[in-house]
């Protein structure tokens, strides 16, 4: 292979990588717009999955451009993926269950629950297990995968009034300002809320790229929960979109 041919292939490889980056960004923005009324955490995960899928396709084509056989590359990726899945299948089951509990939020730290013959107060929820503190001051570690197979009872007082809205935002967003905007938005739907329990926005976790929060609302009428969640998710999307644009202009 001549130097000229090699440089041409490398240039095409770089162009495909650049194109993949642009397409991934476009798809991410499209997903963000299409699913704007969805739970923010779900929307964020869908964006990541779509972005990963685009990058996988782009990298396959990029390496094919360098002369790597496509069938060989896919075989190697498939074998590696299968090996990883077999090795960590139990851990993945627990982590996957944790993802669903984050999305649908059947309970939170501080709640009293009954599951798989154990009753206790939730004192920790990690990617693998949920830790309960019983009345006898014993610690019970429940694998998160149990919550997908067993019936769960949340016996926390007034839990039927509670709505938990998971939120994931870009770490560049000013958190105090975001909190103020969200609580102001909650004030616009106060006719649906129990005035004895003001809305509370708490931080669950944060990293360099994002911040995960939980918005807790107490409603007057449980029949209005779906309507309230849809309305507040719409307002949160509008707030986040506006603040992201503002941060990009700075």
Residue pLDDT, tens place only, 113-141: 999 889 999 999 887 889 999 999 999 99
pLDDT in tens, 207-247: 888 898 999 999 988 888 888 988 898 899 899 888 888 77
pLDDT at 150: 85
Most distant CA atoms of the chain, gap in Å: 77
190: left (phi over 0), alpha (psi -120 to 50) or beta: alpha
Cα angle 27, 214, 181 (rounded to 5 degrees) comes to 80
Q: Which domains does the chain have, with CATH numbers?
A: 3-87 (1.10.287), 106-154 (2.30.30.60), 159-249 (3.30.70.100)
Spatial separation of the C-alpha atoms in residues 118 and 133, rounded to whole Å:
10
Nearest CA-CA partner of 229 in 22, 35, 37, 95? 37
E strand intervals along 135-195: 139-143, 152-154, 162-170
In angstroms, the CA 55 to CA 22 distance is 10
What does the block give as tokens for 148? 């997908």
Between residues 2 and 220, the one the model is more confident about: 220
Helices 40-65 and 225-249 pack at an angle, to 10 degrees, of 50
pTM (2 d.p.): 0.56
pLDDT at 109 over 70: yes
pLDDT surpassing 60 at residue 1:
no
Torsion of CA 148, 153, 155, 159, to 10 degrees: 60
Q: Are strands 152-154 and 112-115 parallel, antiparallel or unpaired?
A: antiparallel
Residue 92 has pLDDT above 70, yes or no: no
For 28, 38, 125, 245, the CA distances from 139, given in Å and listed in that order, are 42, 36, 13, 46
With 70 as the cut, is the pLDDT of residue 196 above it? yes
Given this model, what pLDDT does residue 157 score?
83
pLDDT digits (tens, 9 = 90+) for 39-65: 666 677 778 888 888 888 888 888 887
Could you tell me which residues come within 8 angstroms of residue 218 by beta carbon, excluding any fewer than 6 positions away? Answer: 158, 161, 162, 163, 193, 194, 196, 197
Residue 103: which pLDDT band, with cuts at 50, 70 and 90? low
Q: How does the average pLDDT of the chain come out, rounded?
A: 83
The residues facing 193 across adjacent strands are 219
Report the percent of the chain where pLDDT is more than 70: 85
């Amino acid at each position: 292979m001549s130097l000229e041919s090699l440089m041409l292939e490398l240039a095409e490889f770089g162009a495909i990588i650049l194109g993949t980056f642009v397409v991934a960004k476009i798809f991410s923005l499209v997903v963000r717009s299409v699913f704007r009324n969805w739970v923010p955490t779900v929307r964020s995960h869908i964006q990541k999955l779509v972005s990963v899928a685009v990058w996988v396709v782009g990298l396959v084509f990029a390496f094919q451009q360098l002369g790597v056989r496509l069938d060989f590359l896919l075989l190697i990726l498939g074998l590696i993926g299968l090996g990883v899945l077999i090795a960590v299948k139990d851990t993945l089951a627990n982590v996957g269950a944790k993802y669903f509990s984050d999305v649908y939020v059947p309970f939170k730290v501080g709640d009293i629950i009954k599951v798989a013959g154990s009753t206790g107060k939730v004192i920790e929820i990690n990617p693998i297990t949920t830790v309960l503190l019983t009345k006898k001051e014993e610690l019970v570690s429940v694998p998160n995968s149990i919550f997908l197979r067993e019936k769960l009872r949340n016996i926390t007082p007034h839990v039927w009034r509670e709505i938990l809205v998971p939120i994931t935002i870009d770490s560049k967003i000013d958190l105090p300002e975001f909190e103020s905007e969200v609580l102001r938005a909650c004030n616009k739907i106060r006719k649906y809320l129990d005035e004895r329990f003001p809305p509370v926005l708490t931080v669950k976790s944060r990293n360099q790229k994002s911040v995960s929060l939980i918005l807790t609302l107490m409603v007057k009428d449980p029949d209005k929960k779906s309507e309230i969640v849809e309305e507040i998710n719409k307002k949160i999307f509008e707030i986040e979109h506006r603040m992201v644009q503002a941060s990009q202009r700075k």
